[in-house]
Amino acid sequence: MRRLAFLVLVVAAACKKDEPAPVAVDAAAPVESAKATSTPPPAVDTGEPIEARRKKVTKLEDEPALVAASDALKKHYGGRVPKELSLQIAGRAVLVDGPEKPFAILVDATGAVRWTKERPAAGIMPPVGPLALAGGPNGRIALAVCDPPTTRVALRIWDDDGSPFADYDAMDMDDCTTLSLLYWPRTGWLIVATRPGTTKAQLVKENGSMPWRRGMEIGARSVTGAPASVAVDSDDSFVLVQYGALSAEPGARPHAVAFRYDVHGAPLWPSPADLGAAPVARIDDRIALDRPKIGVVHATLAKGVEADLTSNGRVTQRQ
């Protein structure tokens, strides 16, 4: 039995130009039906080229999409929704995160549920590793999935109506501590996975090609597998920020360090930029990034500690 049913890439001769080639999905794997409303499907607002926003909520009212999908959520969790939910939010798409019972929701511009996915990682047998959500072109939604048993990271893409569009075997990864996913407009999806000692990335282009072979090692290569946060700072480059060591000396305190790469994965700075020492006991936190304007990435390291990073590597810290 195949653990990861959608890893064999099948190139369809009927693929549209500049669209990813679809992948065969195991017919035995259940595929959730799209639950469309009568509202026409507007394109998902992917916002700035940054990762999905992550937050925790303790009641459904804290996120409108959860309220809209409350009946489906209660059914999904056997009548009782957990007291705390971890969310990833990309435009109007929401992923209720967690390896046990993840749940995906897309709402339309009016806030009504367009579709839900009770098994967004259908086709992967447990244990499922970290998940990451992102938007895409033409209202598409993407989900990156780490599958430890097969040492693979896959990318699944749905059309705006919830129907399967494509699945990709993106890269090799022995295991994943964390997973990040970013839609890079007019370029593709950037996937970054970490585990202790390794930070690895892959670019899945909009036409389905993957130029970085089986993945490329980049970033700080944190000893703990600290999360890597990514943001596109220009049309042809991205920034990665992660807690890591600036010094090889024993006991050296980790710093938030930033790297900049081009579309080929080549570094654009001779050395990483230092955004400041990591708060004590916070080195495994995910650093939140946003892009206030082209050429500037804003990083939130911890409560009250922020920094602006320009494309030339200049860092301005805020307290």
- Measuring CA to CA, how many Å separate 130 from each of 28, 87, 222, 234, 308? 23, 13, 17, 28, 28
Confidence of residue 100 (pLDDT cuts 50, 70, 90): confident
**pLDDT over 60 (residue 245):** yes
| Predicted pLDDT at 281 | 56
CA distance 103 to 119: 6
Query: Highest mean pLDDT range out of 9-13, 27-31, 312-316?
Result: 312-316
Residue 20: name the closest of 150, 154, 123 by CA.
154
pLDDT, mean of residues 207-218: 93
Q: Which helix (H) or strand (E) holds 317?
A: strand 315-318
pLDDT, mean of residues 71-75: 95
Q: Are 23 and 156 in contact (CB under 8 A)?
A: no
pLDDT digits (tens, 9 = 90+) for 145-185: 998 888 999 999 999 999 999 999 999 998 899 999 999 99
Higher pLDDT, 255 or 278: 255
Contacts of 110 (CB under 8 A, 6+ apart): 39
| Predicted pLDDT at 280 | 66
> By three-state DSSP, how is residue 41 classified?
coil
Q: Percent of the chain, pLDDT > 70?
A: 82
Confidence of residue 17 (pLDDT cuts 50, 70, 90): very low
Burial zone of 281 (CB within 10 Å; 0-12 exposed, 13-18 middle, 19+ buried):
exposed
